[in-house]
Structure 1
């Protein structure tokens, strides 16, 4: 009996020591995770944006390895054999070591208990969650931006997240959500679809880009635009199930975005059009590239999924 108690005491001491030894990842640190470990900080994504990527990868399977490498901060994939497997990184090669390009990596905040909250990368990681060969167990690398693990409770943690603008608490109609209503995981079945978020994505480079003054683009930039556009454009005027109607909707969104003066606030975002990378003139050539290359992939894959 004494021997059993003695052994139990040793085990408890070892567990306590291990718990005390745990330290949360620090800001700037690059860590590896499985996709299922990441807690979303938004309830919505643009399904059409993800469908475009999945359609592209279905047609050109090697492209998914570029996505994998670039998202890990490794540049493009350089050697992708036919038997390459996302679950086996040694089966293919990326141009650079992990984290070489940290600005291209997706970001997380460390919360209480060491839980990881994804603040940028919901579209890329949902694509990798859904793509054949990917899935919830896929291992990826992410960059830590903040350590809020010392928050005394979840209410304080979410307050800090809101102050830092690290969470998007709106549904796909722009209505407010409580943090408790956020999904536990990524993936189509867990997230809502926001069409405006997709349309803003398709207007990228044609109506907006990265802020041109060197400032870092805020988290959820496209959502700020999309939520404002929700009050500006009636999507019922477009047949989004036809290529022509979808292209017209993208063009309407892009034109409305560039019509906003650089110093004007974008809805209730607290940011000006300039701060959100807004352009003052529509780039019709970039818009045409989207029409020719992205919309067809998106429409085709969306049909296969429905």
Structure 2
């Protein structure tokens, strides 16, 4: 009996050690629980997440599309009424995991093979906030960098900063240190940067995802948001009504498209490198307002248990 118990404990110890020392080569796809990935930013745009939460409340298929897309599986193909994202076998996506790697969320490998999320904080926080999901929800991610051979934590973060794979600023745009980053995802752990949502809602209206492989798209919206911050003070904006949001987005969008292609925006990147457009697209803005902004405003106007916590 003692021998069997010893073997069992030894097996558990070996498994734990194997997980801690597992190799994750760049380009590999790995399945993780959400509490295994550490944020590389302290802030998100709450309104962007509220927008998705509002749309999910109106149409639960939005949730399954988000799940499938984040796993590189396209959209949800078949979702029975009893399906849950905690049980992937209960529904179907268009494709197999990793079919569309460009849509997957990314991680960098750090010391001790810890995983640091470099893209996907909004999507994964949205999924984290779903009833019954939280930290145990399983998702697939792609490995885009391996700095596990860094000699010290300081060296690791220096490499992350040099590769533009960490955003070390708080909700007011003030610098923070790596140790001030939250350990976990979730709205309770992250701060709200309204400028991140403002820029996010201007996608395809004032900027588009750049094609250059030199730009790390993980924090593109934060670069633009930091550039807008001193030009468009938050106190002058009304982000609690659709019309107020429209006015704020028009003001921000016009500033963005007025920037010359060579204008330095943030962190050494120019407007052109960050996907800046030469002409503002009002039709695209109206589409974003109808499909996203209105849902965010409506969600904020009706208190929910999640909102009460923030």
Whether TM-score is above 0.5 comes out as: yes
Cα-to-partner distance string for 1:7-66 (whole Å, 9 max, x where unaligned) = 89x959x85996599442010000000111110000000000000000000100111001
* Alpha-carbon distance between aligned partners in 2 of 1:126 and 1:275, rounded to the nearest angstrom: 27
Correspondence list, 1:102-141, <5 A: 102-141=101-140
Alignment partner, residue 296 of structure 2: 298
Match of 1:271 among 269, 272, 276: 269
Partner SS, residue 220 of structure 1: helix
* Alpha-carbon distance between aligned partners in 2 of 1:153 and 1:94, rounded to the nearest angstrom: 41
Q: Does 1:254 align with 2:264?
A: no
When residues 160 and 236 of structure 1 are mapped into structure 2, their CA distance, relative to the original with a 3 A threshold, is same
Q: Does 1:52 align with 2:61?
A: no
Residue 209 of structure 1, CA deviation: 0.4
Correspondence list, 1:155-234, <5 A: 155-212=154-211, 217-234=216-233
When residues 29 and 79 of structure 1 are mapped into structure 2, their CA distance, relative to the original with a 3 A threshold, is same
Is the 1:85–1:133 contact (alpha carbons within 8 Å) kept by the matching residues of 2? Answer: no
Is the 2:165–2:216 contact (alpha carbons within 8 Å) kept by the matching residues of 1? Answer: no
Is the 2:20–2:112 contact (alpha carbons within 8 Å) kept by the matching residues of 1? Answer: no
Match of 1:282 among 266, 280, 283: 280
Residue 235 of structure 1, CA deviation: 2.3
Q: Does 1:92 align with 2:77?
A: no
When residues 36 and 58 of structure 1 are mapped into structure 2, their CA distance, relative to the original with a 3 A threshold, is same
Q: Does 1:71 align with 2:70?
A: yes
Q: How many correspondences in the alignment?
A: 299
Alignment partner, residue 37 of structure 1: 36
Taking only aligned residues, the RMSD between alpha carbons, in angstroms, comes to 2.3
* Alpha-carbon distance between aligned partners in 2 of 1:22 and 1:213, rounded to the nearest angstrom: 34
Residue 212 of structure 1, CA deviation: 4.8
* Alpha-carbon distance between aligned partners in 2 of 1:159 and 1:217, rounded to the nearest angstrom: 16
Alignment partner, residue 146 of structure 2: 147
Is the 1:75–1:95 contact (alpha carbons within 8 Å) kept by the matching residues of 2? Answer: yes
Partner SS, residue 48 of structure 2: helix
Is the 1:217–1:277 contact (alpha carbons within 8 Å) kept by the matching residues of 2? Answer: no
TM-score (norm 1): 0.92
Is the 1:78–1:95 contact (alpha carbons within 8 Å) kept by the matching residues of 2? Answer: yes
TM-score (norm 2): 0.91
Q: Which ranges in structure 2 are unaligned for 5 or more consecutive residues?
A: none
Q: Which ranges in structure 1 are unaligned for 5 or more consecutive residues?
A: none
* Alpha-carbon distance between aligned partners in 1 of 2:96 and 2:204, rounded to the nearest angstrom: 29
Between 177-186 and 287-296, the greater mean CA deviation after superposition: 287-296
